């Protein structure tokens, strides 16, 4: 059994964002971004997956952002339906928006998990049924 090594340079937030993508000079396709960080993203699509090493134009909207993120990414790995992308030319404003999105999503998940734990601890313990005499 081999151990997977995580080579990411930044953490990722789970998401479900619409994305348009295209290899330079080729037709645009639709897909979803299912996780994102300041250095890369996971592209999920029913469309064609660009080959490893390909430069891909990406365009997507982050929640609460007023303008789309447009950037160039490089395919680092690919499987049927998925491609791990490294951002190549992401501006400081876009990095900041992605970081804020990551921080907001992480805080929401931590808050949700904390509330689940509080609720779990406040529930009465299950009692054994009484015997009928």
- Looking at residue 24, its pLDDT comes to 84
pLDDT of residue 58: 96
**Model confidence, pTM:** 0.72
One digit per residue, pLDDT tens: the chain, 133 residues? 333 345 555 667 889 999 999 998 889 999 999 999 888 999 999 999 999 999 999 999 998 888 999 999 999 999 999 999 999 988 899 988 988 888 888 776 555 555 556 556 655 555 555 666 6
By the 8 A CB rule, do 68 and 94 touch? Answer: no
Q: What does the alpha-carbon distance between residue 71 and residue 22 come to, in Å, rounded to a whole number?
A: 11
Cα-only R_g, the chain: 21
DSSP state of 132: P
* The predicted structure's pLDDT at residue 5: 42
Measured between alpha carbons, how far is 26 from 98 in angstroms, rounded to an integer? 27
* Domains of the chain in sequence order: 13-118 (2.40.10.220)
Cβ atoms of residues 36 and 101 within 8 Å: yes
């Amino acid at each position: 059994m081999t151990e997977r090594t995580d080579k990411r340079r930044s953490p990722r937030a789970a998401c479900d964002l619409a994305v348009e993508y295209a290899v330079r000079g080729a037709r645009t396709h639709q897909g979803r971004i299912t996780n994102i960080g300041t250095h890369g993203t996971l592209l999920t699509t029913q469309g064609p997956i660009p080959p490893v090493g390909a430069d891909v134009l990406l365009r997507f909207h982050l929640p609460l952002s007023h303008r789309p993120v447009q950037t160039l990414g490089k395919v680092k790995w690919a499987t049927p339906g998925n491609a791990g992308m490294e951002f190549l030319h992401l501006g400081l404003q876009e990095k900041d928006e992605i970081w804020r999105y990551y921080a907001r999503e992480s805080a929401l998940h931590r808050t949700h998990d904390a509330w689940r734990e509080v609720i779990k601890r406040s529930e009465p313990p299950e009692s054994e049924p009484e015997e009928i005499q």
